[in-house]
Structure 1
């Protein structure tokens, strides 16, 4: 399949036409011969999916894990043409492209739609009340989050899209700094890259914030546009060349501690598929979520060690002083967010979920750090 873009408004129509004629052909075959299904089997439905990631990012591999599972489960009836950021549109433009039918699907994160509506940032990069990304992904599917997200994207924003979340990301590092930052005062005046509500949060700590897609971060650092940044994880950061422009890497932060990937589909296109193919696309997110978690744990940990041992990076834990300052900044920011009625009801729902679920999680979890220190003494340097 080529990457040529059909005129706006024609993509969904042509695909719906294909589905209708395919269904008619299947009906003729059922009443007549067995030849037509064999022909149809050679012509899978091709889904054009673009990510928000450069081709070199490990997250393209994560998206490929979804592609592989969907194609295998569909028995060849679905094929996904997976494209990196920029192949059709820029990284932050895939929502519009899916809505307009320029692409059928996207692999991204809701925080990238912050510029359209700040509430999008609540679905993974909002205030941290104590729940992890796993806690908040559970809220999305079992606590009403999916219904809120449909309301936001389809009713408030008026988009013809459906978003599903998968892969609860480890908490994002505070990021990369040329010099050590040991207190909140050390952050003041720094030009820093982050996205979404984290930009509002870090600005309130005295930083000057630029919201940039991943592929632009290191060039911006080299040009002096920014002098500190975060993206997401050791593997992506290393592939960007973060270690070439800064040597102090700070893990743990409350600015983006509960994010998941978004698997975004054109809603009309999805609804025109046969029910079993819709189910494969939806449940494939769950399968990829498990696979992505395993891949992340393997690669993130190995690449963190490589950054330390081979690339001269000093890995730090973010100080309690900075973490406390982040929580206090959230306390100041939340009331302003709650002036919006939609954001207020989402935040109320999240707080109620975290209060109940995280109580169980924390009460039930043993102190894993204690066990780790028992078997690997002196490594944590807490």
Structure 2
């Protein structure tokens, strides 16, 4: 046969070989197209075509405060756990409302999430201090956290905020804080109860009642107002919370004596506030992520705090000329006695 005869030879089916080649080439091309389309179809369910849910969250802390870093740890975990379905716009105190207004802003829907401490709404109901600056009964913030999650604390909080106060919020607690220092004084010899009589002092919550019982004149101010108040002579001394937060807003610039150890705030934790309507509008898995991320952030916050608080305390001494004192036994004993006097008045 000639080559042309070979090309035109018929198969048993009567179809020329050349046509078979064309058929095979066409079939392969079609199969490739189907395969590509199949890949797209199979992959489609894993692509989240919806826009992320963007939530507005404000803290009660000034822009430079380490506690905004702690709030960021929460935001990052929500983003990761939700696969990007939830994005949180994190804002510092004052971006939308002032520090003491976070609770109301969340309840009213101005904010979706708030990050504060319960004593910041102590003025609305003194029972707020049961969840942060309550009486010292030998427990710690870790004990209080256990009570919140396993001992009925969460249910009492819901009853207080929703049933009694009529607020449209859901709360969650995390990061059990170390017992807080007595604070910052200009005097390097604060050792007796007489030394603090009439002293104008900043604290918050039920601790204000406690220290007034001891003879101090107390002003309740958010952290961002402490240094200006010291500079203007509105207060003579103050406490806030820890070496890192205190140094972040410049405590070392207005006082050089830092007294550690106190019973005025021994069991405080962060409070996460969620607008109830917003939370309940989400799918169940996203609601769970927002709430369980509090527990995840609580662990990371604790690790970060233990590292930073210790190194910043050292820096205050070596770089800022701060003298660290141990609060005297007389003052500590007087605090416990004042608690015993104060508690019956709250019943």
| Bin of the TM-score, shorter chain as denominator length | 0.7 to 0.9
CA distance in 1 between counterparts of 2:213 and 2:275 reads: 36
Structure 2 residue 248 is matched with structure 1 residue 239: yes
Q: Which aligned runs of 4 or more in structure 1 are off by greater than 6 angstroms?
A: 33-39
Match of 1:223 in 2: 232
Match of 1:94 in 2: 102
Equivalent of 2:263 in 251, 254, 279:
254
CA distance in 1 between counterparts of 2:76 and 2:47 reads: 23
RMSD: 1.4
Report if aligned partners of 1:113, 1:120 keep a CA contact under 8 Å in 2.
yes
CA distance in 1 between counterparts of 2:100 and 2:219 reads: 14
Equivalent of 1:322 in 307, 317, 331:
331
TM-score normalised to the size of structure 2? 0.86
Equivalent of 1:281 in 286, 290, 313:
290
Match of 1:44 in 2: 52
Equivalent of 1:153 in 121, 136, 161:
161
CA distance in 1 between counterparts of 2:254 and 2:50 reads: 49
Alignment of 1:153-302 (within 5 A): 153-179=161-187, 180-302=189-311
Equivalent of 1:138 in 135, 143, 146:
146
CA positional deviation for 1:42:
5.1
Report if aligned partners of 1:41, 1:77 keep a CA contact under 8 Å in 2.
no
CA positional deviation for 1:40:
5.2
CA distance in 2 between counterparts of 1:130 and 1:38 reads: 52
CA positional deviation for 1:168:
0.3
Match of 2:343 in 1: 334
CA positional deviation for 1:200:
0.3
CA positional deviation for 1:124:
1.1
Deviations 1:329-354 (A, max 9, x none): 0001100111xxxxxxxxxxxxxxxx
CA positional deviation for 1:305:
0.4
CA distance in 1 between counterparts of 2:96 and 2:49 reads: 28
The verdict on how the C-alpha distance between 1:41 and 1:115 changes in structure 2, with shifts beyond 3 A counting, is farther
TM-score normalised to the size of structure 1? 0.78
How many residues align? The count is: 306
Equivalent of 1:60 in 68, 89, 103:
68
SS at match of 2:90: strand
Deviations 1:233-270 (A, max 9, x none): 00010111111111110111100010000011011111
Structure 1: gaps (5+ residues):
1-32, 339-382
CA distance in 1 between counterparts of 2:111 and 2:306 reads: 31
CA distance in 2 between counterparts of 1:34 and 1:244 reads: 62
CA positional deviation for 1:134:
0.5
CA positional deviation for 1:41:
3.9
Structure 2: gaps (5+ residues):
1-40
Larger Rg: 2
CA distance in 2 between counterparts of 1:42 and 1:223 reads: 53
Report if aligned partners of 1:113, 1:121 keep a CA contact under 8 Å in 2.
no
